[in-house]
Amino acid sequence: MPLSAYFGGVEALTLALMVTCTAIAVTAALLHVEDPGRSIMSSMFVACWVPYLISFAVLLLSQPDGQWRLAVVVLLVVSNDTFGYIVGVLFGKHPMAPKISRRSPGKALPARWEVPSPSGCWPHG
C-alpha cells in the first residue's frame, strides 16, 4: 500500500486497500478458517493499521511542506498519549479496562481530546 500511495496517489491507495481486503476475505474462504468473521476483521484491522497509516505518511511527505505536516501529526499523537497518561495517573479513579490495564483511568479521555489541541495549531502563511 505505501508503494501504491507513492506512485499512484490517493486513488491507487484506495484501490490497494480494496484489493487487500478482498484478498483477505477470499483467502479466509479458501482456507476454511474456524471463525471467519473474527479472522477477516482482525486481518483487515491489521491491514488498515500499519500499511494504511504508513501510506498516509507517504502522502503527507509528497505535499509541499510535507515533512512539517508529518511532524505535526506525530506531535499530536505523542502529546495525546502523553497527556492522557499523565492526567489519568494524577486524577483517574475508575479504570477503563481493569482486565487489560489496572492503571488506565477513564478521566484521561478529556485530556486526550483537549490537551493535544494547542499542538495541532498550524500557522498558515
- DSSP β-bridge partners for residue 105: 95
Nine-digit cell string for 53: 497509516
Structural domain boundaries of the chain?
1-62, 64-118
pLDDT digits (tens, 9 = 90+) for 11-28: 999 999 999 999 999 999
Angstrom CA distances, 34 to 39, 58, 67, 74, stand at: 8, 36, 44, 38
- Rounded to whole angstroms, what are the CA distances from 118 to 19, 77, 82, 114? 38, 13, 14, 8
pTM: 0.61
| pLDDT tens digits, one per residue of 13-66 | 999 999 999 999 999 999 998 888 899 999 999 988 888 888 988 988 888 888
